[in-house]
Amino acid sequence: MIRSEILRDIAPILRDHLVVCNIGLPSQELHMIDDQPTNFYMLGTMGLSSSIGLGLALAQPKTVISIDGDGSVLTNLGTLPTIANNLADNYILLIIDNGSYGSTGDQPTYAGKKTSLTAVAKACGCENVVEVQDKDCGPALQAAIDSKKMTVIVCKCDSGNIKLPVITMDPVVIRHRFMQAVAS
């Protein structure tokens, strides 16, 4: 499976929760598959989905799911010790690890070579780290939500992209409706 197929699989689970989605194609795909006011699409700042999601989880009680990529986590590797040391049991980091920088043309990342983000997350002190294959992402995500424990999920999948439009919604609108969803 490729990332867009995983997002399609887990969209019914994501719908009920606050979601911070990685810049580029992941956000475009989620927007196309199931646009929701509870989705915060990042239109800038590669690497910060996990950081923004952690901050949001620490600031309020609703479950927050950050959807990130292997390339983005590698870009902001300091995020994993920060997550490990700032416990928020309403926070789930879902790393869709396709071993490539998908949004820039599928150049390979080190996560697709020698570096295991699962091992890195554990070494950083993250206590609940699970690695799953693409088709098992939905059950793993639901289990993480139900556990009410901060969880890092590394979902291994194939690299590959679909053709789809950019998000034309004004960033101010994305932010405003998301803030309303957080407060409601």
- Interface residue list for Mg ion (CB under 5 A): 69-71, 98, 100, 102
**Closer CB to Mg ion, 66 or 100, in the complex:** 100
Q: What is the largest CA-CA distance in the chain?
A: 44
Query: Which residue is closest to Mg ion by CB?
Result: 69
**How far is it, in rounded angstroms, from Cα 48 to Cα 56?**
12
Q: Compute the distance between CA of residue 20 and CA of residue 155 in angstroms, rounded to an integer.
A: 17
Q: How far is the CB of 154 from Mg ion (least distance, A)?
A: 11
Closest approach, Cβ 57 to Mg ion, in A, equals 23
**Chain-centre distance for alpha carbon 112:** 18
Per-residue tokens: 124: 């950083």
Contacts of 21 (CB under 8 A, 6+ apart): 27, 30, 39, 40, 41, 42, 49, 66, 67
Closest CB to Mg ion among residues 39, 98: 98
Q: How far is the CB of 53 from Mg ion (least distance, A)?
A: 17
Residue 112 contacts residue 13 (beta carbons within 8 Å) = no
Q: State which residue, 70 or 134, has the beta carbon closest to Mg ion.
A: 70
Q: Which is nearer to Mg ion, 1 or 88 (CB)?
A: 1
Residue type, 123: A
Q: Which is nearer to Mg ion, 53 or 102 (CB)?
A: 102
Q: How far is the CB of 107 from Mg ion (least distance, A)?
A: 10
Q: How far is the CB of 156 from Mg ion (least distance, A)?
A: 11
Q: Is the Cα dihedral 128, 129, 135, 137 positive or negative?
A: positive
